[in-house]
A and B are shown apart, each in its own frame.
Chain A
Amino acid sequence: MTLKDLHPNYFKVFLTFAKNSLIRDMTFRTNFVLQCVSSVGWTLMNVGFYLILFQYTDSIGADSGWDRDKFFLFLATTWFINSIVQAFFMPNAEEFSELIRTGGLDFALLKPIDTQFLISFRKVDWSSLSNFAAGVVIAIISLRNLALRATSPMIPAWHEVILYIIFVFLGIIIMYSLMICLSATSVWLGRNQTLYNFWFYITNFSRYPMEMYDRGWGRPLYGIFTFIIPVLLVVNVPARILARPIDPRTTAEWFFVMWAFVAACGSLVISRWIFHRALSSYRSASS
């Protein structure tokens, strides 16, 4: 849908979007602060729950290596990824299905800029980034605990940190692609309230170490959510790189690292394809 002779500066456009959203958030400042407070409250409750859990057990799963400090690194990773998805993509995906329903997508199609870019980045929910800050706090505390503890202290190597950042980014790409696919289906389905719940329930699987599903009737789920809808890789791969639950690393772990890279690229391509299929079957609304 872009005009060939016009090349908008995507970065500048994005900055404008981000600025506009910030201005809007700052207009309703009390509301903004309350939103931050309640998301931090949610974080505290989760931290409380896992602290209670680790009162009773040393690790999640026998011999899995996910002890308290390492699991909190895992949790921090979940928090990083979810906060970024919620800040940048969630408000836009919600708006996208609304645009399809009301026919407002016409205006987006007319703009001289890539439609997927416009749809994906128009709004930024700044208050969700308070969860990112909460994730930083959790990560710092658990890294400190890991470095200072008496039995098997651990400090991540610099290349692990770099790999971690890269794979957090790739995890965000997988989540983003999934969200674009789900919201694009509203072109065919009209209303998709249940689909959003579906998104929450699927991502719910990504919140825990993946090997815990690898038994009994969990195996099919493990397979589906690793190889078909790769949500299990999103948090697991970066978290394992940084927390090193099993030392030395196994070859299976490196396989999943490679696969996460392939899966992220693949899901981005597939989501773009689905998005364009959706646009070509879009037939406006009203008028």
Chain B
Amino acid sequence: MSPAPSQLQWKISSWVMIFRTALEERLVYRGDFALGTLMRFLPIVTQIFLWFAVFDAIERKGDNTDGTIGGFSFQEIVAYYLLTMLGRAFSSMPGLASGIAKQIREGEIKRYLIQPIDLIGFLLINRIAHKFAYYVIAAGPFALVFFLCRHYFISGWPSLTTLFAFTLSLVMGFLIGFFLEASIGMIGFWFLEVSSLLFVYMLFSFFLSGHMFPLSLLPDSIEYFVTFLPLKYLAYFPAAIFLGKIPQEELLFELALEAIWLLFFIALCRVAYSRGVKRYSGYGG
């Protein structure tokens, strides 16, 4: 009935509306936010001292001549932890999967079946707005901490190509994080209670994403399998790019691989949603 351009216009204006509402909603708690962001760096203080003690012991013993662990020097490991904070700021999706599962359980999901708004699109725009608000407020604390810790970045700024690849990996990390967690939330169509499952996923992701330590520290046989998993894109991969741990000639291939994983999770999420809606039977009021 309506011509295509106006339909598109309508869609865009509703997206903009969703974005603005979500943004305003977030900016209400900015004080709490900024303080919380600074505090989140506190565990890194412990990590700095722990790794100093470890490297100190290795150096004094003197049989490890190049003074690196898994290809990382002491400064690089600290820089790595700081960079994973940045990676996690993009890829972590607090409350996404549990939110979807809750909407399914309480029947709120009916809204999206009736209204001309796509659930996944709506959540994605919401999430982008939340992240955007977060970066606006967290930029200060992040800049402060990175400035104070600048001497840990021993090789200075990486090349423009690396920076570009780094940015690309952060953006794709965000999208993989989103579609991966949304897919987990869709499990709620089959099992009503997913919170324990989610907890198990969070545990694994903390370990296998490289948030706990650089994945190259793992014993070779385990590292081989872990680097096949997509979880590394949530933290390890962007940081490794920035620190030049991914050889230039493999960079394009690795990024292409990440893009394939991203497409896989988009497809998985879509399929799970359409299958789920088919078997959905509207509990609650």
Contact = CB atoms under 8 A, between A and B. Distances in A.
Contacts of A221: 45
B217 to A, nearest CB: 5
A61 B40 CA distance: 25
B69 to A, nearest CB: 5
B46 to A, nearest CB: 5
Interface in A40-54: 41-42, 45, 48-49, 52-53
B60 interface: yes
A57 B42 contact: no
Interface in A57-116: 57-64
A48 B207 contact: yes
B196 interface: yes
B39 A194 contact: yes
A61 B203 contact: no
Nearest to A201: B42
Nearest to A193: B32
Given A60-B57, A197-B39, A208 B196 contact: no
B49 interface: yes
A59 B61 CA distance: 10
A31 interface: yes
A55 interface: yes
Interface in A170-204: 193-194, 197-198, 201, 204
Contact of A58 (B45, B57, B69): B57
A145 interface: no
Contacts of A63: 60
Interface size class of A (residues with CB under 8 A): 35 or more
A218 interface: yes
B280 interface: no
A45 B199 CA distance: 14
Nearest to A216: B52
A201 B212 contact: no
B168 interface: no
A197 B36 contact: yes
B217 A57 contact: no
A157 to B, nearest CB: 28
Contacts of A31: 193, 196
8 contacts: A41-B200, A49-B212, A52-B213, A52-B217, A52-B218, A62-B57, A62-B59, A212-B53
Given A34-B196, A64-B57, A197-B36, 11 more contacts: A45-B207, A52-B217, A52-B218, A55-B219, A56-B70, A60-B54, A60-B57, A194-B35, A194-B36, A201-B42, A208-B53
